[in-house]
Amino acid sequence: MIVLVTGSAGFIGAALTYHLLKRGDCVIGIDNHNSYYDPKLKEARLLRFINHKNYIHLRMDLADREKIKQIFIKYKPQRVVNLAAQAGVRYSLENPASYIDSNIVGFANVLEGCRLIGVEHFVYASSSSVYGANALLPFSTKQNVDHPISLYAATKKSNELMAHSYSHLYELPTTGLRFFTVYGPWGRPDMALFKFTKAIIDGTPVNLFSRGRHVRDFTYIDDVIKAVVLVLDRPAVKNEDWLGIDPDPRSSAAPFRLYNVGSGKPVALLDFLHIIETAVGRAAQKVWMDSQQGDVAETHADIDDLVNEFRYLPSIDVTTGVKLFVDWYLSYADAN
């Protein structure tokens, strides 16, 4: 199968690309290698597969409409996984334009490419941040998500709406995956696990926003990839029982679906930090900070739909996952 993966040098994108190549697919990878965090990490991720005979890497921006169109025409991918995005809730407070360019304009260009050649299935990354001001836990795809509290979250909700319109208008099967705090080896430096581990090892303070009261549904990268592949291999179909008078947000009369991808086992941030301290073998210097705009207090994924429809079961607990990350981090830091 020919699969186009956008954001293929990113954390999730690189892990997915590695898995798809390993199982025998051909992958066309697109990444713009921006400097939101150190591009050297992206280059290091790519070294695992960039010379694979079934991989083609393209350095370009999704906002370039004509180039994206030509990529679809030239390579004719059968399925597409859109993981490219300007990430980070806090960064969106300072640089909103970059989120519009990548997460809205770029997303639209990929959708249009899918329509142009009749892609079999379009799978895309949404986010737990779309739940925004919702305080009903666990977060379910049955719930309303009309109150985002960051521009990043708003762009992800927009992606879901745009995908539905293409499913409705052009019969394009689309599936959105709301990821919950993905972590693991090769993870992003702006995420808590990477920052906390680095700070503890370097002997610098760990900033605990909201005075450490946050709770997160941490999801190990291998479990995330398992979910993406399960969904990718089964294109979305119409819900024949869908009714406009009682609309189900998870599905549609069009070939459209939404799923949460999490562990279903939320962990308090202070407990998460203690697990990191244990794995590193050193205590953190804690600095208690107030909450920041755009931060959600707690996340907890209802993953029943994935479990029931795909027999998805997360297999890596947070203690094991953190230890695997710390081991990777120490080897990566020594090499760089």
**Residues belonging to the active site:** 152
Distance CA 174, CA 164 (A): 7
For residue 51, CA distances in Å to 38, 290, 335 come to 22, 46, 21
Q: 167 and 254 in contact (C-beta within 8 Å)?
A: yes
The secondary element (H helix, E strand) that includes residue 307 is: helix 304-310
Q: 308 and 230 in contact (C-beta within 8 Å)?
A: no
Distance CA 156, CA 151 (A): 9
Cα atoms found within 13 Å of the Cα of residue 326, Cβ hemisphere only: 21
Q: Per-residue DSSP letters for 78-125?
A: SEEEE------TTHHHH-HHHHIIIIIIIHHHHHHHHHHHT-SEEEEE
Distance CA 221, CA 15 (A): 8
The helix-helix angle for 192-202 and 318-335 (nearest 10°) equals: 60
Distance CA 86, CA 95 (A): 10
